[in-house]
Amino acid sequence: MLLPVLWPRRKVDTHKGDYGYVFILGGSPGLTGAVCLCSQAALKIGAGGVLAGVPKSLNSIFEIKLTEVMSEPLEEQGGYLCQGAWKTIKEVLSRIDVFAIGPGAALKTTTQKLILKVIETVNKPLVVDADGINALAQNLTVLTRRKTKKIILTPHLGEFSRLIKQDREKIKKNRKELARKFALKYNLILVLKGHRTLISDGKRLFENKTGNPGMATAGTGDVLSGMIAGLVAQGLECFEAAKLGVYLHGLAADFAVKDKTQNCLIASDIIEYLPKAIKAHK
C-alpha cells in the first residue's frame, strides 16, 4: 500500500527549527487530557517543537503531564481561557508556524470569543477542531473575514451538523457533496471524520480507507489534530497534510487494534503505534 502523500524526509545537517513549531490553544477544568494528546501527537509526527497555550491556573498540570512540550500560561476566568489571553498569544506569534485550536477548550462565552479572535486575526496555518469548531458554529462569518488562507477544519458528524445546521441523517446520505460544498464556500480544507473520513478542498476529494471501530473513543480526534498540525509545521501543503494525517492516524489504529482489540483501544495507543505505521512505508 502506498502513502497518499510523499513522506517528508530529514536532511543530515538539520535542527529542530527546520521542522516547525506548533501552538496548541485549549484546555479547561476536566479537559486537560485533550491538549496533552494533541501536543504529544504533533511531536510524535515530527514537529520540531510544541507550545501549549493553556489557562494559567492549570499550567502546573501540563508541566507535570508533558515532558517534551513547552507550556504558555494564558489569562483565564475561573480556569477557562478568556479574551485577555490574546496579548500573550500576539507576543509568541513570530515563533509559531501553525496553530491547533480547540482541544478541551470548553464552551464558555469568553473562550469562544478568544477562539474567534484567533481564527479571524492570525495569519498562520490553522487546524481547528472540537470546541474551536463549536465556536465557529456560533459565527461562521468569521471564516469569510479571516486573514489566513490556510485553514483546516476537522469536525465529526455532530460538529458538522452544527456548522451547516442540517440533520445528521441527511448529512450521512450526502456526505461527499456537502463536504465539497462547505469547503468550496469557505475556501478551506474540510476533514469530515467518521467511517471512511473525507478530506476536501472544494475541488478535490480524498476518501480514507484506514481505521477501525476501536477509534470510537475519547481523544482520537485530538490526536488527529495534533498529527495534521505537526505535518503542516514540517512544510506540507494543508490538503496533503490532512490526507497523510488521516491515513496514518487510521493505519496506526489498525496496527494497535491487533494487540489491544477494538474494545480496549484508547487514543494514546494511536500515538504509540504511529512509528509502526510510518515504518510500514519506509
How many Cα atoms within 13 Å fall on the side-chain side of residue 115? Answer: 34
Q: The whole model's pTM is what?
A: 0.97
CB 50 within 8 A of CB 43: yes
Strand ranges of the sheet holding 151-153, from the earlier edge strand across to the other edge: 70-74, 49-55, 21-25, 98-101, 126-128, 151-153, 189-192, 198-200, 205-207
CA distances from 156 to 53, 95, 134, 162, 196 (A): 24, 30, 11, 10, 12
Considering the four listed CATH numbers 3.30.70.980, 3.40.50.2000, 3.40.109.10, 3.40.1190.20, the one that applies to the domain covering 19-277 is 3.40.1190.20
| Residue type present at position 3 | L
The whole-number pLDDT of residue 49 equals 97
Alpha carbon distance 177, 170 (integer Å): 11
Q: Residue-wise pLDDT tens for the chain (282 aa)?
A: 567 677 778 888 998 988 999 999 999 999 999 999 999 999 999 999 999 999 999 999 999 999 999 999 999 999 999 999 999 999 999 999 999 999 999 989 999 999 999 999 999 999 999 999 999 999 999 999 999 999 999 999 999 999 999 999 999 999 999 999 999 999 999 999 999 999 999 999 999 999 999 999 999 999 999 999 999 999 999 999 999 999 999 999 999 999 999 999 999 999 999 999 999 976
What span, in angstroms and rounded, lies between the C-alpha atoms of 228 and 5?
13
Task: Look at residue 251 in the predicted model and tell me its pLDDT.
Answer: 97
| Amino acid present at 199 | I
Domain locations along the chain: 19-277
Helix, strand, coil % over all residues of the chain, rounded to 5: 50, 15, 35
Rounded to an integer, what distance in angstroms lies between the CA atom of residue 189 and that of residue 151? Answer: 6
